[in-house]
Amino acid sequence: MRLLTLLAAALLLNLCARPASSLSQATEPNPAFRMQQQRFPRVRAAYILHEADLHALLRRNGIPARQLELYLRAFKVGRRLEAWGRRTGTGEFVLLRTYRLAGTSGTLGPKRRAGDGQVPEGFYHVTRFNPDSKYHLSLGLDYPNAADLRHAAPDPGNDIFIHGSNVTIGCLPITDAGIRELYVLAVEARAAGQTDIAVHIFPFELTAENLARRVASPHTGFWQGLVAGYQYFEDYHQLPCVSIDARGAYAVE
């Protein structure tokens, strides 16, 4: 019953990034979030190590640190997590940093049940900041989303994070050094007013050639449902507006 309730609620979820014109209007800067996070020793240490360099990186890309909008994109093949940024609600996203995934588990394909070791694939958001993680620092994702709940086993699992270290059973580890830097970027974006930090996880670059090489995979149909969202960002360097229909399929509007 609880799962059915969650499913019904989740099916109402819309993964749309807010339109560029409304994002800056709909959110207000929240510098108190930065101050609250810096009460934790690991976050303070991360700021000491990385704040100056990251602010310089943002300036080089025309992004005021207090107006950062962040987007994260991960690929299993190639083992990388990309951090993209832009000035809040303005222009195209630019690639700021690429972090190597320091560990992997599972295989290509979506996560469907607790304990399967799979890293999810699909369209998610950062919903939790953990400044005292078992894996140094971590950013929690909203897995399972409505699409996952529609297709997953009765227990789809949870607690998927981007975190430090080099070990994983379904998360995205980018080493302690990597997560310190990314955590500062995420805190800066949140303090700038970004309540929805999109995280898109793909098996590989969803080109026609790459899909053709894996046409025999049982996940081909699922991957086809991710193509429109992947391609929209490739074409425009803007976030697609992604929704989930009653069948648990992604749709780009």
Cα torsion 233, 176, 137, 96 to 10°: value is -30
Selecting among 16, 163, 200, 241, the annotated active-site residue is: 163
Known catalytic membership, residue 237? no
Whether 151 sits among the annotated catalytic residues: the reply is: no
- Gap between the Cα atoms of 3 and 7, Å rounded: 6
Say how far residue 114 (Cα) sits from the centre of its chain.
Answer: 20
Length of the chain: 253
Catalytic residue among 50, 125, 136, 171: 171
**Token representation of residue 118:** 């799979």
The residues carrying an active-site annotation are 163, 171
